[in-house]
Amino acid sequence: MVRATPELLKEMNKKTILSLIGKQKIISRAEISNITHLSKATVSSIVEELLKENIILEQGEGVSTKQGGRKPINLVFNPSAGYIVSIDIGAYKCLMAICDLCGNILFKNSIIVKQSEDTLNKIMKAVKELIEGSGLKHKIIGIGMGIPGITDIENGVAISVPELSWKNIQIKNIFEKEFGTRVYLDNDVNMALLGEKWLGNATRYKNFVFINIGYGIGGGIMINNKIYRGSNYTAGEFGYLVLTNEALNMKRFTLDEYGYLESVASGSAIEKRMHSSSKEIFEKANNGDPRAQSVLCEMIDNLSMGISNIISILNPEAVIIGGGVSKAGNQLLLPLKEKIYRLSPFKSNIELSLLGDEAGVIGCAATVLTNECSINL
């Protein structure tokens, strides 16, 4: 049992206060004391330390109490106390960004990645150029990376990324050796889930699901404000959901192949049927093309069945839809909601991602922030 020394208690109180300031965005010393039940003297002492360390700032005045008196000075998190490199690796594109500690994207770049190329070195080269161009090299506090496959977050290993032919790649070790800062990995959809939780459409939810519908279909699950990963990091692989016995007559599904739901409801599935991009298919359907309308109707039918099953199993407050296909907006959302609500007696809010393509990089920043600055989202 760890003995609660004064030094340990002080460190715990400091993390509690810092986390509260980060979560509340703006708060006074008195409000911190009321919420945490720490004495005003303890709060004042720790706040002074954080101010000296430039981690927080004083900003404006709050509202005085009914009894009058001096207005309290508000405290805010200092967004420029450090910076975070975010790397969201997709099957075909890698988006990189440098964010401040409030999740604002200050610099960003993207590159095309291909299975046949030395992808990892190409990404490292692009990240170096981004950091050098920013002039913030010595203020980087960490790197967050989203990996499009099964990821061992404890050891920083990309276990299986079929699109890039990666198996058991020690990405954390490689990047930490190259950049000299701590690196945090997770599945790319889990990163998008965190992005929506921090600054997107899921800020008010403790239990929700993020579903990424793009070239494939993936998902992330948050239960009581924590990501649920499963026994071997594969929770949320919704692309492998099976909807009909038709799947029994198909070839065996493996991690190197698309799952059943992906084969009938992903962007790549409808693109193969129409020989057009997803964007073009939605445009054709909107303009009255009967074949495009039929293909989209089948896609939405399959998605609605899959999502209804997810709702029945997890009972989330909300399902957030992201990924390239979600850019169709209400053309996708409205019929999808109507069919889900018809199939499922358990009501969850169905919403589109607020952050779009940037959900992943913002989630990468959130991961570094929670680990390096002890801030809970």
The tokens describing 270, both together, are 């409808």
Give residue 75's identity as a one-letter amino acid code: L
3-state secondary structure of 70: coil
Whether pLDDT at 149 is above 50: yes
Is pLDDT at 1 greater than 70 in this prediction?
A: no
156-166 burial: b if 16+ Cβ within 10 Å, else e: bbbbbbbbbeb
Q: How many residues does the chain have?
A: 377
Q: Tell me which amino acid residue 216 is.
A: G
pTM, to two decimals: 0.90
What whole-number distance in Å separates Cα of residue 167 and Cα of residue 165?
A: 7
Q: Is 281 exposed, middle or buried (0-12, 13-18, 19+ CB in 10 A)?
A: buried
Tens of pLDDT, residue by residue over 256-283, are 677 889 999 999 999 999 999 999 999 9
Beta strand 208-213 pairing with 217-223:
antiparallel
**Which residue spans of the chain are classified as CATH 1.10.10.10?**
6-77
Phi, psi of 289 (to 5 degrees): -65, 115
Tell me the CB-side half-sphere exposure of residue 359, using CA atoms within 13 A.
31
pLDDT of residue 215: 87
Select the CATH number that applies to the domain covering 6-77 from these four: 1.10.10.10, 3.40.1160.10, 3.90.1300.10, 1.10.1380.10. Answer: 1.10.10.10
Domain over 83-187 is classified CATH 3.40.50.1820: no
pLDDT tens digit string along 21-31? 888 889 999 99
What does the pLDDT read at residue 4?
67
Q: Which residues contact residue 369 at a Cβ distance below 8 angstroms, ignoring those fewer than 6 apart?
A: 22, 84, 101, 103, 375
Domain ranges in the chain with CATH number 3.30.420.40 = 83-187, 201-353
Which letter does DSSP use for residue 253 in this model? P
CATH superfamily entry for domain 201-353: ATPase, nucleotide binding domain (3.30.420.40)
Q: How far apart are CA 220 and CA 189, in angstroms?
A: 6
> How many alpha carbons fall within 13 Å on the CB side of residue 61?
7
Query: What is the predicted pLDDT for the residue at 62?
Result: 62
Confidence of residue 249 (pLDDT cuts 50, 70, 90): confident
